[in-house]
């Protein structure tokens, strides 16, 4: 098991373009989380999946954001019509149980919108 | 909603000196508490966690933290700083989200610098 894998590691895009990030969780973990971390801040919750079901979404997740987890394995996070304010590190995490004992985080995807 | 306050956005210590990073939380129920470390351009690595067992929790890399309910604190310490400890440290509290999971709420982080 190689842990939580995120691709790409870095993404630079022009304002208005769409971007998609991928997360591969630890294989036996059925819960998957997306967090966003802006400069000088701690990570903030975006959304959560249990298997393929998206059970919770933060108010931070505007209509331009969509996340999927088909077949309950890998997950994708898409941002449409990117804005400069979307520049951040997007972190994916997974947990085996309910997450009360913490998550395992990936290395993140750093998005820069120019 | 729970919240986490980390006192000091930047802490500098000399190599070999005591490391003390402060964290206070607000919670209406007994919390689960965590410290994560983040190296530049990396994700977060779990250092240690408190899950209502022993109040003094030992983690990786020689770090430990003590849960003090009366002070609502969970400060992180290490007796002797090493150059490799230079990183950003995040305190987090776990809250049941009501959707079958626990959601982590993080503090803003404390950047630790170690001076040779």
Position A16 scores a pLDDT of 97
Closest CA to B4 of B88, B78, B109: B109
Give the closest-approach CA distance of B41 to chain A in angstroms.
8
Between A72 and B92, the more confident residue is: B92
Q: What distance in Å separates the CA atoms of residue B110 and residue A59, rounded to the nearest whole number?
A: 26
- The whole-number average pLDDT for the span A46-69 is 91
Work out the average pLDDT over B91-110: 85
Which of A85-89, A104-108, B21-25, B95-99 has the least mean pLDDT?
A: B95-99
Measured CA to CA, the distance from residue A73 to residue A51 in angstroms comes to 7
Whether residue B78 is preceded by a cis peptide bond, meaning omega within 30 degrees of 0, is no
Interface test with B, best of A55, A103, A108 (most B CBs within 10 A): A103
**Which residue in the set A55, A102, A105 is minimally distant from B99, CB to CB?**
A55
Residue B53 has a pLDDT of 74
Q: Which residue of B has its CA nearest to A33?
A: B103
A2 CA to chain B: closest CA distance, Å? 14
Mean pLDDT of chain B, nearest integer: 91
> pLDDT tens-digit profile of A38-49?
988 999 999 999
Report pLDDT digits (tens) over A21-42. Answer: 999 999 888 899 999 999 889 9
Contact between A11 and A17 under an 8 Å Cβ cutoff? The reply is no
The pLDDT assigned to A1 comes to 53
């Amino acid at each position: 098991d190689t842990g939580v894998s995120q691709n790409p590691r870095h993404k630079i895009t022009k304002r208005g373009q769409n971007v998609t990030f991928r997360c591969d969780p630890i294989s036996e973990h059925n819960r998957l989380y997306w967090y966003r971390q802006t400069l000088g801040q701690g990570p903030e919750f975006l959304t959560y999946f249990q298997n393929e079901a998206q059970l919770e979404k933060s108010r931070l997740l505007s209509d331009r954001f969509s996340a999927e987890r088909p077949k309950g394995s890998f997950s994708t996070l898409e941002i449409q019509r990117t804005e400069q304010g979307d520049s951040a590190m997007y972190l994916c995490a997974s947990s085996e149980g309910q997450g009360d004992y913490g998550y395992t985080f990936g290395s993140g995807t750093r998005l820069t919108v120019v | 909603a729970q919240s986490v306050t980390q006192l000091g956005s930047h802490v500098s210590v000399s190599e070999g000196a005591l490391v003390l990073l402060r964290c206070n939380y607000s919670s209406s129920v007994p919390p689960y508490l965590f410290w994560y470390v983040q190296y530049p351009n990396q994700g977060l690595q779990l250092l240690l966690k408190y899950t209502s067992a022993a109040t003094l929790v030992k983690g990786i890399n020689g770090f430990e933290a003590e849960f003090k309910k009366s002070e609502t604190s969970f400060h992180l310490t290490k007796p002797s700083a090493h150059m490799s400890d230079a990183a950003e440290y995040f305190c987090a509290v776990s809250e049941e989200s009501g959707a079958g999971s626990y959601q982590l709420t993080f503090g803003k982080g404390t950047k630790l610098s170690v001076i040779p």
